[in-house]
Amino acid sequence: MNFVDVLRTAVANSFRSKLRTTLTVVAIFIGAFTLTITSAIGTGISSYIDTQIASIGASDVLQISKAPEDQGAAADNGPAEYDPNAATSGGGFPGGGAGLSFAMLTDKDVDTIAGTAGILDVNPVVSVSPSYIEYGGNGKYELSVNATSAVTKPDLAAGVQLSSDADTNQILLPTSYLENLGFGDAESAVGETVTIGIPDYQAKMHEVEATVVGVQNESLFGSGAGLGQRLTDALVAVQDTGKPAGPGRTYFAATAHIDSNASQEQIDAIKADLAADGYRGQTVSDQIGTIETVISGIVGVLNAFAVIALIAAGFGIINTLLMSVQERTREIGLMKAMGMSGGKIYALFSAEAVFIGFLGSAIGALVAIGVGSLISGALASTLLADLEGLQIMQFAPGPVALIIGVVMLIAFLAGTLPARRAARQNPIDALRYE
């Protein structure tokens, strides 16, 4: 029997008992479907994150905060000794006291960080709370600010990125602001001047003008407007007008620029230097890496379930084929009596197993691609519309082919036992079988 005949006969045999084959195929289908969907989610999310990281491109920015080393110590060894010089957040809240022990950066810390080798400049992250934004007398709208705008380079719909050494007040508007403010489209907003209203310490409203340099797509990293360093400074100046002189300012974090060509080792060295001084420096990809780890953990768990489903399906294949071997005992005996070798009989049953595996996995993968694309497209325009460019499921040919291949391999392995049993049959015993 030649190869083509073996395949053809195996395929024909698998269709002989349609119900049994169908049920086994369904079992494999479920596993392959799940595996295709989960792997597509993995691909979709990580490719989204990759484009986000790429669009940020801010490998030259470190976000620096106090290392939270004291917290572990507090849990193990009781409260740490009180240090009147240590700045903590919460000091300003009534009754808050030192209970909120989130370590803050002081101006002195900022100077220390600036003195670390490899750090080009440091800007403390300050929070500004403007009240409204207005363009051309079209009405005042609430303005929320993206606190991380200084460190990220968001995906732009029009215009250019904020520049750190500009001599004008720069602002990046999210696409969602355009319509309310009265801009026709993203292009027309670029270069226009908007007015920002911000109250000072005594709640007296002031206005600051800013130029729109670009329009950003909605992304993972904050959805507010991005403010240039100069605009931030101007707003802070207004905000602090009339503030009584206090005990020096504190910050949650600071952003620092490093050489944009720095290698990973150099970045690691800077981080180590910062750590030695009690600060924690993280690049944007470090921060995103954490998200990615969590997501790939979830995808991994989903994959594990799919693999369990496939293993169960594998036993289904063993069962199906054992029944086939039993049912066809006579036929096997007849073929052996007519000179078919044990190897060919083995190949015949293995091919049948692999074919059933192929059928289940190919249908599973195809249906998964169809259903997944529909769901993913629907989600992208509804639930996930705020995350532009996120296709929650992406079906790449490589992983899909791999899944089909793995399922066929599992099917082959599952077919080994029944196929061996068939191949070893003695023609006479098989022919006598009732």
According to DSSP, residue 82 is labeled P
If the CB atoms of residues 127 and 341 are measured against another protein, the closer one turns out to be 341
Asked if 138 is part of the footprint of another protein (rule: CB under 8 A), the reply reads no
* Identified binder of another protein from the candidate list 337, 375, 383, 409, rule CB under 8 A: 337
User: Which run of H or of E encompasses 365?
Assistant: helix 342-381
- Nearest distance in Å: CB 338, another protein: 5
Stretch that binds another protein, among 67-75, 277-285, 328-336, 388-396 (CB under 8 A): 328-336
- Nearest distance in Å: CB 354, another protein: 20
Stretch that binds another protein, among 69-77, 148-156, 195-203, 337-345 (CB under 8 A): 337-345
- Nearest distance in Å: CB 318, another protein: 24
Asked if 19 is part of the footprint of another protein (rule: CB under 8 A), the reply reads no
* Identified binder of another protein from the candidate list 208, 371, 413, 431, rule CB under 8 A: 431
If the CB atoms of residues 9 and 195 are measured against another protein, the closer one turns out to be 9
Asked if 323 is part of the footprint of another protein (rule: CB under 8 A), the reply reads no
Q: Are 295 and 46 in contact (CB under 8 A)?
A: yes
- Nearest distance in Å: CB 412, another protein: 23
- Nearest distance in Å: CB 299, another protein: 46
Measured CA distances, 422 to 1, 276, 325 (Å):
16, 69, 6
Stretch that binds another protein, among 60-68, 259-267, 302-310, 327-335 (CB under 8 A): 327-335
Beta strands in 84-242 (DSSP E): 105-106, 119-124, 132-134, 140-142, 156-159, 170-174, 193-199, 205-216, 226-227
Dihedral sign computed on CA atoms, order 64, 66, 71, 73:
positive
Contacts of 86 (CB under 8 A, 6+ apart): 103
Asked if 7 is part of the footprint of another protein (rule: CB under 8 A), the reply reads no
* Identified binder of another protein from the candidate list 10, 16, 95, 256, rule CB under 8 A: 16
Q: How many residues does the chain have?
A: 434
Asked if 330 is part of the footprint of another protein (rule: CB under 8 A), the reply reads yes
Which burial class, exposed, middle or buried, applies to 242 when counting CB atoms under 10 A from its CB (0-12, 13-18, 19+)? exposed
Rounded Cα–Cα distance for residues 210 and 192 (Å): 8
Output the CA angle 219-197-226, nearest 5 degrees.
Answer: 20
Per-residue tokens: 178:
């355009």
- Nearest distance in Å: CB 425, another protein: 12
Q: Are 112 and 281 in contact (CB under 8 A)?
A: no
If the CB atoms of residues 1 and 208 are measured against another protein, the closer one turns out to be 1
Asked if 389 is part of the footprint of another protein (rule: CB under 8 A), the reply reads no
- Nearest distance in Å: CB 362, another protein: 26
* Identified binder of another protein from the candidate list 138, 141, 341, 378, rule CB under 8 A: 341
If the CB atoms of residues 282 and 425 are measured against another protein, the closer one turns out to be 425
Measured CA distances, 340 to 322, 344, 391 (Å):
20, 7, 53
Asked if 311 is part of the footprint of another protein (rule: CB under 8 A), the reply reads no
Beta strands in 67-139 (DSSP E): 105-106, 119-124, 132-134
According to DSSP, residue 245 is labeled P
* Identified binder of another protein from the candidate list 182, 342, 389, 399, rule CB under 8 A: 342
* Identified binder of another protein from the candidate list 5, 69, 121, 185, rule CB under 8 A: 5
Asked if 2 is part of the footprint of another protein (rule: CB under 8 A), the reply reads yes
First to last CA, the chain: 26
Q: Return residues touching another protein (CB under 8 A).
A: 1-2, 5, 9, 16, 330-331, 333-342, 344, 426-428, 431
